[in-house]
Structure 1
Amino acid sequence: MPRNYVRKSSRQSWDPASMLKAIEAVNNGEMGWLKASKTYHIPQATLRRHALQKNKTLKKGEKRLGRFKTTFPVEVERQLVEHLKLLESRFFGLTRQDVLELAYNLAVKNGFEHQFNIQKKAAGKDWLRGFRKRNRDITLRKPEATSAARAQAFNKPQVAQFFKVFDQIMQKENIDPMRIYNADESALSTVQRPQKIFATAGRKQVGAITSAERGSHVRVVCCMCTAGNFIPPALIFPRKNMKKELADHAPAGTLCIAQESGWMTGPVFLQWLQHFQKYVKASPTEKVLLIVDGHASHKYLDALV
């Protein structure tokens, strides 16, 4: 059967809900076969067959064309879909191959008739294609790498606790909602990624000039408030001594710091806090709430006092 089969027949275009109503009307003596057929727009022969339960493989109101049938009943497929969603929400999503093997094991252990590959112990690509077409609420996605520490911290109790503490601080310190800032660090690569170019067909190796083949990363610290204002960024260069030329073409007010490893440390965070204070002008009467993550550098004693 073609993989992208387009139906050409109008058979079984009746509504399953209407079929059940028609059967109920006939069984209760409210209508005869002909009247129920015309009222609910169902062929009389089909109505008789369903009402008298002459279909060996289908229940009342169900319909299926052709001799082909799905490996799993609808309710089992939905349970499988919900299982995939649950695992994905817990950061343990299944790959394509995992799903194929799971479908095979599910069919074997529950005694469902199947045409899966017994040698590979996995369902086929055709089954997966049909499974995805029948269940449009799941799709293949490339997951973002997430550390175990972040996954454990990002859950309902932890998020609820965060907002509870946040509420208490806002009320106790009487902080203006427009004076809430959030800061985070990220990495910038110093090596450009070449774009695709036209080259001689059959050539084994194609190159393009970049600043280096393997580059180091420069840490950038960005901070923004709820009003949409930005603090000038800070750049942490992996070197012992700072050169003024490294700040060329950087945004106005950028703080440039030289640190051997290029990572955020306690002393570097203290420097950034002084840079932060220069622009926000926090005081006992004009307090500011700064939200950062739980990195060790943010707990540096000199920065907390």
Structure 2
Amino acid sequence: MPRVYKRKTDRGKTLPDIMERAVKEVISNSRPCREVAEQFSIPHVTLRRYCLKTRASGTMPHVGYFNNRAVFTPQQETFPVNYLQKAASLYYGLSTNEARTLAFEYAQKLGQKMPTQWYENQRAGRDWLLGFLKRNSNITLRTPEVTSLGRATSFNGHNVNAFFNNLQLVIERDGITPSNIWNVDETGCTTVQKPDKIIANTGVKQIGAIVSAERGQLVTVCCAVSAVGNTVPPMLIFPCVNYRDHFINGAPPGSVGAAHKSGWMTSETFLAFMKDFIKHLWCSVDNKVVLLLDNHESHISIEVLDYAKENGVIMVSFPPTLFTQTTTSGSISFLPFQEILQHSL
């Protein structure tokens, strides 16, 4: 039997009160079964069967098909739904197999009658899971995004409120307009793109597509966008020791490039980006802008903070609250993002 069965006819859809009235007309008023069936638009064979059952038992039998036997009632299913939603919100969502195991243990705890396969596999069946997701449209299968433990623990109400309080303080004090609120971030772009699907012969074991290299390298791209949608030319950081001008051929007009053997953003390259950023914005201590950025160590070096402050760039960092920074003595200290804001002021 298919997992989603659809009846091919309208059998079993006669309302109970209509069937009861038709049976009463046949039994109590002694009317012909075919005549009553035609009057109420009921198959005469069905009406005759209900009349025979009523005469034999003296009571009206159940009308229509019985629903499939369910392990949980709608009220009992609210617990696994809430549990799955809560686990996903805490970054510890359950997989399909774990959800099926949860359903089996929950049914065991309630003493519910379960199919034999549930006991054999020690978890609910796939059909139950598909029906469970169909009955509860507020949950579905999702692909989770990889989230580090530090990011998950630092994203809380206290840190978020502190960030927005700092942002509101700066906006109200200096009269910052949306066009002067900027966000900067980096992303990695591979030098070898994955080819699209192509049409080829069936039965061939392997199909190839020409690319520049089989294994590419990541190039860091640093971009800045304002609250009104304006942008500045990006910076591209290439994974090599020496930078050459032809590296950025074909890049957006005004783009700048840099090189580092790891291809990652460093304090030196971010300072170069800040110089290019300020050159395009013409900001100053009399025309300040707010720059929102994350907690990467290259963003909070003393050289970057001092240069931003001298040129009217107020740097407001996102949570988490602690950032590592190398001091002049070489040791590692922790700098709260409130102090980063105060330093940039």
Taking structure 2 as the reference length, what is the TM-score of the superposition? 0.70
- Contact 1:12/1:65 (8 A) holds in 2: no
- Contact 1:218/1:238 (8 A) holds in 2: yes
Question: Within 5 A, what are the aligned runs for 1:3-42?
Answer: 3-6=3-6, 8=10, 9-10=12-13
Name the counterpart of 1:77: 77
Question: Within 5 A, what are the aligned runs for 1:63-212?
Answer: 66=66, 68-115=68-115, 116-212=117-213
Name the counterpart of 2:301: 300
- Contact 1:175/1:288 (8 A) holds in 2: yes
| Secondary structure, aligned partner of 2:152 | helix
Taking the aligned partners of 1:260 and 1:251, their CA distance within structure 2 comes to 23
| Secondary structure, aligned partner of 2:223 | strand
Taking the aligned partners of 2:65 and 2:222, their CA distance within structure 1 comes to 61
Residue 277 to residue 119, structure 1, CA distance change in 2 (3 Å): same
| Secondary structure, aligned partner of 2:196 | coil
Q: CA deviation at 1:234?
A: 0.5
Q: For residues 265-284 of structure 1, what are the alpha-carbon distances to aligned partners after superposition, in whole Å with 9 as ceiling and x for unaligned? A: 11111111101100111111
Taking the aligned partners of 2:302 and 2:292, their CA distance within structure 1 comes to 17
Q: For residues 187-243 of structure 1, what are the alpha-carbon distances to aligned partners after superposition, in whole Å with 9 as ceiling and x for unaligned? A: 111002122223333322221111111111000011011121101100000111112
Residue 144 to residue 227, structure 1, CA distance change in 2 (3 Å): same
Q: Please say which structure displays the higher CA radius of gyration.
A: 2
- Contact 1:186/1:221 (8 A) holds in 2: yes
Name the counterpart of 2:39: none
- Contact 2:178/2:226 (8 A) holds in 1: no
Name the counterpart of 1:285: 286
Taking the aligned partners of 1:87 and 1:184, their CA distance within structure 2 comes to 30
| Secondary structure, aligned partner of 1:3 | coil
Q: Could you list the runs of 5+ residues in structure 2 that have no partner in the other structure?
A: 18-62, 307-345
Q: CA deviation at 1:153?
A: 2.5
Q: Percent identity?
A: 39
Instruction: Output the amino acid matched with 1:99.
Output: A
Q: For residues 10-34 of structure 1, what are the alpha-carbon distances to aligned partners after superposition, in whole Å with 9 as ceiling and x for unaligned? A: 25689xxxxxxxxxxxxxxxxxxxx
- Contact 2:220/2:238 (8 A) holds in 1: yes
Name the counterpart of 1:238: 239
Q: How many residues align?
A: 257
Q: Root-mean-square deviation (CA), in Å? A: 2.0
- Contact 2:186/2:222 (8 A) holds in 1: yes
Mean Cα displacement is larger for which, 288-297 or 240-249? Answer: 240-249
Residue 12 to residue 278, structure 1, CA distance change in 2 (3 Å): farther
Q: Could you list the runs of 5+ residues in structure 1 that have no partner in the other structure?
A: 15-62
Taking the aligned partners of 2:65 and 2:303, their CA distance within structure 1 comes to 75
Mean Cα displacement is larger for which, 154-163 or 225-234? Answer: 154-163
